[in-house]
Amino acid sequence: MGKQERNIYAGGNTAKGYQHFYDSVLKGLDRVLILIGGTEQEISRLIATIGKEMSNRCLDVEWIHSPFVNDEYDGVMIPGLKTGVVNGNYPRSIHPKAPGVIETFVDLTPAILTEKLQGQKTRIVELHEQIAQSCQKAYDSFAQALQIHDEWEYFYINALDRKKANDVTEELGHMLLGEHSLPKKGRSRHMYFGAATPKGPVDHIQSLTANLEKRYFIKGRPGSGKSTMLKKLAAEAEQKGYDVEVYHCGFDPNSLDMLVIPERSVAIFDSTAPHEYFPSRVGDEIVDMYERTIEPGTDEKFAVELAEIKERYSAKMKEGTGYLAEAKGMRDQLFAIYSQATDPKLLETIVHHTLAECIRMAEAATTE
């Protein structure tokens, strides 16, 4: 098998505010390079430079995408080197808790000529405050959308046959895990497959599941037991000794949207909007929770009420995306200010030294 590139989110803009799983994402590493100072864009470019060089050296890489700026990176993992390079600026607050992990802080601030920022201090403070305010407005909108989503769930929770839901979970557990257990302790790693971004919802389900032999597409309605089922299956898989990739919902991080069990080459995920997909190859299968667990005719019985709720929900989600876009515009303004005050040669020196350290580790790994 050739080198692999994976795409995930470690943090997200959710109905609970900015929520991240860096402790879990970075678990198992021996070294973490934490980039501080500079702008989102400058740090992303340094991360991209390192990740691409490692990929060119035929090492697997895992890209951590930014939920704040589309097509930018918050980090890159190089599993073969047990090394990660991440953006450590607010609000991420990254400090690996695992004993023995070597943390190296790489500060981009020396490349900034502070004297060139003297006349921009007031504007810089204003922009930071406005970014925080716009993000908070987005989170407030998403929180209101979650309340509306609870109204949406109410109709289906009342129509849910819990015995049938448990039967589906048991059936899937058998298909996902079989009858055997592995002679080791199972581990789980928590993250997101997508995020709310300034351009709307984005996900990487297709690339994350591309090499798996079996994919289960869960269809259903809010409140039809999808997340509860995934939580039960994750616990069962870990109990049986399997390593589980647990993907949380980018809207409500307390809910789950996907499990991947690499040792079984299988994924099961919530395939409903805004990440709705359909079977496209051998090994794909639909599990319809509405059809199997909800009282027939529920959609039709409450069609008027559900349509009104969906409209309010969609409006709040759109409103939240608009605020994220506002914040992105202000981040662009900050980038323009700092770019004019950045010494490109000093920045290039920092990039060169950081990349050289990663190359050194890569070369040492290949000679072991």
Q: 227-244, pLDDT tens digit by residue?
A: 999 999 999 999 999 999
**Best CA proximity match to 320, nearest among 194, 147, 144, 150:** 144
Amino acid at 14: T
pLDDT at 1: 43
pLDDT above 80: residue 362: no
Mean residue pLDDT of the chain comes to 93
> Residue 308: exposed, middle, or buried by beta-carbon count in 10 A (0-12, 13-18, 19+)?
exposed
> Residue 162: exposed, middle, or buried by beta-carbon count in 10 A (0-12, 13-18, 19+)?
exposed
Q: 40-87, pLDDT tens digit by residue?
A: 889 999 999 999 999 998 899 999 999 999 999 999 999 999 999 999
Q: 76-123, pLDDT tens digit by residue?
A: 999 999 999 999 988 887 666 655 678 888 999 999 998 989 899 999
Whose tokens are 């981009």? That residue is 108
pLDDT at 93: 72
Element of type H or E holding 38: none
Of residues 365 and 227, more confidently modeled: 227
* % of the chain surpassing 70 pLDDT: 96
DSSP 301-317: HTHHHHHHHHHHHHHHH
Q: 195-231, pLDDT tens digit by residue?
A: 999 999 999 999 999 999 999 999 999 999 999 999 9
